[in-house]
Amino acid sequence: MATPIKVNRIGLEPQIYKGGKTTLCAGCGHNAISERIIDAFYEMGVEPTQVVKLSGIGCSSKSPAYFLGGAHGFNAVHGRMPSVATGVALANRKLMALGISGDGDTASIGIGQFVHLMRRNLPLIYIIEDNGVYGLTKGQFSATADLGAKLKTGVINDLPAIDTCIMAIELGATYVARSFSGDKRQLLTILKAAIAHKGTAMIDVISPCVTFNDHEGSTKSYQYSKDHDEPLNELGFVPYFENIDLDYDPGTTTNVVMHDGSSLRLRKLGRDYDPTDKLAALHVLQEAHEKGEMLTGVFYVNPEAPSFVDLLNLVEEPLAKLPESQVRPPKKVLDEIMETLR
Ligand SMILES: Cc1ncc(C[n+]2csc(CCOP(=O)(O)OP(=O)(O)O)c2C)c(N)n1
Ligand code: SF4
Ligand SMILES: [Mg+2]
């Protein structure tokens, strides 16, 4: 008897979630992130044609070509993906928007766009593939490079790092997490919960650049990340369609019910931590910097906050599909508006 073909809850095979063959360096952290994205979208049963992948410029921004081959895609200008993503998400609210950026793309040239994206709580998953350098242009420091980090050439970074998670929390993103490309389980769980979230999910993934930033003295290398990774919480995720009623102890585990009814379980690891407390999130992140820890996990989640789509009171039907008769005001209305401007 032939082996039955493996399919997900919407009847699609894993193959459908893949993309083209990667052209990134073998061992690049970005490739591992692409694999987790493939797993997460397959396991959550998201139809790839209902997804739009957006990116800027960089090795990281090339990676949307290597997953979800059937999705829509737009490769924007360096650091300018957020404005394109905003237009796309508003023009068609039915599509799931997935933005892939680099630390240079986000925190250096794109910082202005990033800031305004985070304060809008647009429904979007925004992933920073963070290697602390401009990989595509041969390894110069980016704005997320840690103070005192060393390049292969011996150059020392003498500027403090921008922490994109701290910025995102302060500015208004409603799901903020950090992970490591080498931690398959944690990254997959963080991605699945991000798919269940309805506002901006900002995920900074430490993703070593094996060619330019994986040596001794780098604070974004595989070895350094393995040695300094400090998980804030142990994560579990129960999607709404699995309907499993797992017991958990509220003394040790916080249960956050996501917008679609899925559950994100955050089990304490030593310290007391409430992931819905913004100030606590900022505090643990600052503390981690002082201790030199690479803190990972879900720092902040607010499933209740209105998204930008709610704030704008958009109609259910995607704007892009409305007929002209509904988007163009009749002459009489335009005349009335003009009258008020006299
Ligand atoms: C407007 C503009 N300025 C500069 C560049 C050159 N450039 C291309 S990619 C890049 C940095 C990429 O770094 P990052 O976003 O961290 O991605 P990585 O390659 O490290 O994944 C730069 C400066 C460009 N393409 N466009
Ligand atoms: S140069 Fe660095 S970031 Fe770019 S593909 Fe190679 S390892 Fe990845
Ligand atoms: Mg980079």
Q: Is 262 in the pocket of ligand 1 (CB under 6 A)?
A: no
Ligand 1: residue whose CA is nearest its atom 2: 78
Confidence at residue 250, expressed as pLDDT on a 0 to 100 scale: 76
- Averaged pLDDT in 10-residue chunks for the chain of 342 residues: 88 98 98 98 98 98 98 98 98 98 98 98 98 98 97 96 98 98 98 98 98 98 96 95 78 91 90 92 95 95 96 96 90 94 92
Dist CA 165 CA 261 (whole Å): 25
Residue-level pLDDT at 272: 84
Give me the pLDDT at residue 248, please: 77
Distance CA(73)–CA(71), nearest Å, equals 6
Q: What is the pLDDT of residue 243?
A: 74
Cα of 116 vs centre of ligand 1, distance in Å, is: 20
**pLDDT number for residue 138:** 97
- Cross-strand partners of 235: 266
38: CB partners within 8 A, 6+ apart: 14, 17, 18, 19, 67, 68
Q: Which pLDDT score, from 0 to 100, does residue 245 have? A: 72
- The reply to whether ligand 1 has any atom less than 6 angstroms from the CB of 212 is no
Q: Is the CB of 212 under 6 A from ligand 2?
A: yes
The CA distance from 44 to 31, in Å, is: 20
Ligand 2 close to Cβ of residue 28 (< 6 A): yes
At residue 106, the pLDDT reads 98
Look-up of token digits 């600052």: 286
Q: If 0-12 CB within 10 Å is exposed, 13-18 middle and 19+ buried, where does residue 292 land?
A: exposed
DSSP 8-state code for residue 239:
-
Query: What is the full DSSP assignment across 77-104?
Result: STT-HHHHHHHHHHH-TTSEEEEEEEHI
| Residue 127 to residue 104: CA distance in whole angstroms | 13
Is the distance from the beta carbon of residue 129 to the nearest atom of ligand 1 less than 6 Å? yes
Which pLDDT score, from 0 to 100, does residue 328 have?
A: 87
What ligand 1 atom has the least distance to the C-alpha of 105?
A: 15
* Residue 235: per-residue pLDDT: 96
Residue 268 has a pLDDT of: 85
56 Cα nearest atom in ligand 1 = 15
- Atom 3 in ligand 1: residue holding the nearest Cα: 78
Q: How far is CA 205 from CA 84, 144, 239, 321, in A?
A: 22, 12, 22, 35
Please give the distance, rounded to the nearest whole angstrom, from the Cα atom of residue 32 to the centre of ligand 3. 15
> Is there an atom of ligand 2 within 6 Å of 66 CB?
no
- pLDDT at residue 27, rounded to an integer: 98
pLDDT at 44: 98
Tell me what pLDDT residue 329 has.
Answer: 85
Q: Is the CB of 222 under 6 A from ligand 2?
A: no
Residue 137: CB within 6 Å of ligand 1?
A: yes
- The two structure tokens encoding residue 122: 């647009």
Ligand whose nearest atom lies closest to the CA of 138? 2
